[in-house]
Structure 1
Amino acid sequence: MMNAVLFLFFQRMRVPLIVLISAYAIATAGFSLIPGIDDSGDPWRMSLFEAFYVVSYTGSTIGFGEVPYPFTPAQRLWTIVSIYLTVIAWLFAISSIIAMLQDPSCRQAIERARLQRSVRGITEPFYIVCGHGDAGRLLAHALSARRQRVVVIDQDRDSIDRLLVEDLGATVPAFCMDASLPDNLSEAGLRSRWCAGVLAVTGSDQTNLKIAITTKLLNHKAPVYARADQRATAENMRSFATDHVLEPVAEFSRRLRLALAAPDTFRLYHWLSSGPRAVLPGNAMPPRGRWILCSFNPLGRALYRTLTDLGVAVTVIDDGTHADLPEGSVSGRGTEAKTLAEADIHSASAVLALTRDDADNLSILITAREMNPELFLAARENAGANHALYEAAELDFIGRPSLVVAGSILSQISSPQFQTFLTLMQAEDNEFSARLIERLHHGHDERPPQIKTVRISPKRSPAVARALEAGEAVLLEDLCRDPRHRQTLLPVVPLLLSRADTELLCPGPDTVLESGDRIMFAGPAHAEAQVDKTLFQDRALHYVRTGEDDSASGWRRQRGANAA
């Protein structure tokens, strides 16, 4: 990109530079050719260096005035010509530079060169976020809050400009360009050894597909987290081993099924997998009476199948823009009282507004509430900027695709075990989820706990690894004790223990740890720091295991490990 900037400079400045150089050459030649008179009355001529020296301070309007002898009338006349000649050349060159710097293409080239230097200067793992819509913005903020570096790509200049004025705690290189082009991804650092992953969350399935393909071909070591709104696109991504494919439609269907079949499992699932801004849903769960579904778009079609599979009666309202409407559907948008009355709103139990227009969704639900105040009201939020309106409407549930996508990706980044945990957790009964919610929610606010995976290995948990090598037994409960006061248990919950081919859901406190174990914990950030002390410090581990503050044994073990 720096070569492009230099090429653009010389292309735009070719004529001004020729004019400027010619003016100096002519002025210098004239001073060297026109004879003067020395103090003895003999003729003398300036050398080329002396002539260029005089032209330099004359043409720049400094007027230093250092000459060995007074000028003759001919030299003075040539000085006048040289002043006008070089000043006009300078004005032409400077105005050309200003015009070039104001040109959008030049400014873009300079900006991209600066951003490339910034990316090359990153010497720690970073993620490339492709798309700075609602989901991309949530991801950039959440990752930055975890002190993980981020590079953002988006085609919308306004979105990039908004990002530049936001305080993310660290400099975020933000490229305004098409992420589907391989060269652009390379400029953003795809080929860098520090690239920890690519998050394809643009609003276009085709763009996300191209990003996933490009990443797999140019840097197969970097995991890809891609959004796919269409099932065909999702299957295409999975066909070439895209690491994580997020389908908002399928995810909403899964959550609706859980909400109707196992309410507490849904609450836990939604709370843990919807990102750091998620709130634990209340106990008011969807009813099993007749539902009115507004819009038979792909999301509406999927939720209709889910509801009917569960034996729930559904009446569809659609304006006719979608094909294959089920029998008994009502024609209309659902924003008019007449249409809702035709769908028999008074005998319905719930209304689900799924149009792609937030104003229509809110209108549908407000009108429905006026006609039947006992309804369970839920809606799809299309734009995060309208979230305040949905909150003011006091709906029973708000489906936010951006939150679902961002939360799912963040959970996968936090712990590779997270998807396994969700699968095992859904296989348990509803009471299991209710008890786990109590354990996780006790003493905390409504925000979800942080997820972290701990691996028992010399690199990830050196103190524990040395204790196991010495033949000492380390219990899972030891990692959950406060290294400052062992009688106090930290507010962390072991959610999953992976050992070889075995997955243990919510392992007990007396589980004996082994080398190679991976434990996924959930808890607040301040507790994570205390767990790390136990993992890394021999003295802290010895104390939580025995209650003895014996630093000598830890020092001897550390010394022996270093000697080995």
Structure 2
Amino acid sequence: MQDSIKKIFFGILSLLLLIFIQTLVYSSIEGWDLFTSFYVSVITISTVGYGDFVPKTFLGRVVTIIYIFVGVGLVAYTLSNVASFLIEGHFKKIFKMRKMIEKIKKLKDHYIVCGYGRLGRVVVDELKKSNIPYVVIDINEDVLKEAVEMDNDLICIVGDATLEETLEKANIRKAKGLISVVGSDAENVFITLTAKSLNPNIFVVAKADKSSTLDKLIKAGADRAICPYIVGGMEIAKIAINPEILEFIHSLVANEEDMEVRRLTIKNEALDGKTLRESKIREKTGATILAIKKGNKMITSPPPEVKLNVGDVVYAFGKREQLEKLSKYLEG
């Protein structure tokens, strides 16, 4: 698209320059005033030729012949590029692009997904299911073009996610989180560094193909670094060892689309020192507490008498609405 636009601008500028030069030539050779010279230059290059003004001198006629050949060629070149631009639907692309830019500007607390490969598509599908706003960034224009044709609601940007200007286009300063799942570990590290420099509060989850990269991603500022092969291997092992438990959890979540397990931290000082029963978490939020982590100690299926303290990590299960209530309650 940019190449077509450049060709059109080149053709228009060349035509204007040619008309300007021919105006000066007519004015000099034929002795016409500038407006008349300009008028004759325009009608000549347009092949209209009214005949009210014609070159009288031999030199003027020779220059006119050369001018017609060059001018008609330039006109044909410019018009062919304009036709190509229209036929290929570039105006429609520009309209879509502007519309998408306006959508991105309005986004707030959204997620930026860097990389639209196999893993990126899975991430986007999960964000869709949760009705979470997102922007996809991928350097491959063909991949995104195909994705947009399949899903008109997809908000995406073609560009290099390691560059600040690309992340700025994705409105990173107002984003809640960034998920980096591009193919290269080095790129995931660069994306993390760039994202944190633009928005230090953004929550970054980055993928690592090699386990040795996990530490580098954390040092770069990633809040979570995940190696899909390790996670996948652990999941397979857990299913093989405890198939009934995992099948129960998966079926429970699958049957209720808005059921989730969340990790929350107690910040509400009013809960400090209270027992689980006294907190009335179940009555107030409807969420179920699966486990409580106190320092390095994990209490699973906590009894009602267990005491809560500020800084404790709570693992809760429930519907999205219930967990939102719980989150607000624990934060105070």
Partner SS state of residue 193, structure 1: helix
Post-superposition offset of 1:124: 1.3
Partner SS state of residue 165, structure 1: helix
In the TM superposition, 1:14-413 aligns within 5 A as 17-27=13-23, 30=26, 34=30, 47-49=33-35, 51-52=37-38, 55-56=41-42, 59-60=45-46, 71=52, 74=55, 86-95=71-80, 117=101, 121-167=105-151, 170-175=153-158, 177-179=159-161, 181-183=162-164, 185-186=166-167, 188-189=169-170, 192-267=172-247, 271=250, 280=251
Partners of 1:195 and 1:222 within 8 A in 2: yes
Deviations 1:387-425 (A, max 9, x none): xxxxxxxxxxxxxxxxxxxxxxxxxxxxxxxxxxxxxxx
Q: Which residue of 2 aligns with 1:449?
A: 259
The change in CA–CA distance for 1:101 and 1:195 in structure 2 (over 3 A counts) is farther
Deviations 1:219-265 (A, max 9, x none): 43322212223221223333445311112333244334434554444
Which residue identity does 2:26 align to in structure 1?
Answer: G
Structure with more contact order per residue of length (Cα contacts < 8 Å, sep ≥ 6)? 2
Which residue identity does 1:90 align to in structure 2?
Answer: V
Post-superposition offset of 1:137: 0.4
| CA distance in structure 1 between the partners assigned to 2:167 and 2:14 by the alignment | 36
Partner SS state of residue 170, structure 2: coil
Q: Which residue of 2 aligns with 1:317?
A: none
Post-superposition offset of 1:193: 1.0
| CA distance in structure 2 between the partners assigned to 1:59 and 1:18 by the alignment | 13
Which residue identity does 2:150 align to in structure 1?
Answer: E
Which residue identity does 2:19 align to in structure 1?
Answer: A
Partners of 2:192 and 2:220 within 8 A in 1: no
Deviations 1:5-34 (A, max 9, x none): 69x839x85586345422344147637975
The change in CA–CA distance for 1:186 and 1:505 in structure 2 (over 3 A counts) is same
Q: Equivalent of 1:476, from 281, 302, 309?
A: 281
| CA distance in structure 2 between the partners assigned to 1:72 and 1:263 by the alignment | 94
Instruction: Flag the structure with higher helix content.
Output: 2
Partners of 1:119 and 1:188 within 8 A in 2: no
The change in CA–CA distance for 1:91 and 1:250 in structure 2 (over 3 A counts) is closer
The change in CA–CA distance for 1:183 and 1:519 in structure 2 (over 3 A counts) is closer
Post-superposition offset of 1:172: 0.9
Q: Which residue of 2 aligns with 1:367?
A: none
Which residue identity does 2:135 align to in structure 1?
Answer: V
Unaligned runs of 5+ in 2: 271-277
Which residue identity does 2:22 align to in structure 1?
Answer: I
Partner SS state of residue 255, structure 2: coil
| CA distance in structure 2 between the partners assigned to 1:23 and 1:71 by the alignment | 19
Post-superposition offset of 1:136: 0.5
| CA distance in structure 1 between the partners assigned to 2:106 and 2:48 by the alignment | 44
Which residue identity does 1:22 align to in structure 2?
Answer: L
The change in CA–CA distance for 1:457 and 1:29 in structure 2 (over 3 A counts) is farther
Deviations 1:370-400 (A, max 9, x none): xxxxxxxxxxxxxxxxxxxxxxxxxxxxxxx
**Matched positions, count:** 306
The change in CA–CA distance for 1:151 and 1:455 in structure 2 (over 3 A counts) is same
Which residue identity does 1:238 align to in structure 2?
Answer: I
| CA distance in structure 1 between the partners assigned to 2:140 and 2:79 by the alignment | 32
The change in CA–CA distance for 1:9 and 1:237 in structure 2 (over 3 A counts) is same
The percentage of aligned residue pairs carrying the same residue is: 22
Cα RMSD (Å) = 5.4
Which residue identity does 1:133 align to in structure 2?
Answer: G
| CA distance in structure 2 between the partners assigned to 1:13 and 1:516 by the alignment | 62
Partners of 2:115 and 2:182 within 8 A in 1: yes
The change in CA–CA distance for 1:155 and 1:115 in structure 2 (over 3 A counts) is farther
Post-superposition offset of 1:143: 1.5
Deviations 1:528-550 (A, max 9, x none): 29987xx89xxxxxxxxxxxxxx
Partner SS state of residue 121, structure 1: helix
Q: TM-score, normalised by structure 1?
A: 0.41
In the TM superposition, 1:416-495 aligns within 5 A as 440=252, 445=255, 449-451=259-261, 475-480=280-285, 493-495=287-289
Deviations 1:38-59 (A, max 9, x none): xxxxxxx6x5345535655664
Q: Which residue of 2 aligns with 1:353?
A: none
In our comparison, the structure showing a higher alpha carbon Rg is 1
| CA distance in structure 1 between the partners assigned to 2:236 and 2:84 by the alignment | 58
Partner SS state of residue 146, structure 2: helix
Q: TM-score, normalised by structure 2?
A: 0.63
Partner SS state of residue 245, structure 1: strand
Post-superposition offset of 1:162: 2.4
Q: Which residue of 1 aligns with 2:275?
A: none
| CA distance in structure 2 between the partners assigned to 1:193 and 1:138 by the alignment | 25
The change in CA–CA distance for 1:514 and 1:475 in structure 2 (over 3 A counts) is farther
Partner SS state of residue 199, structure 1: strand
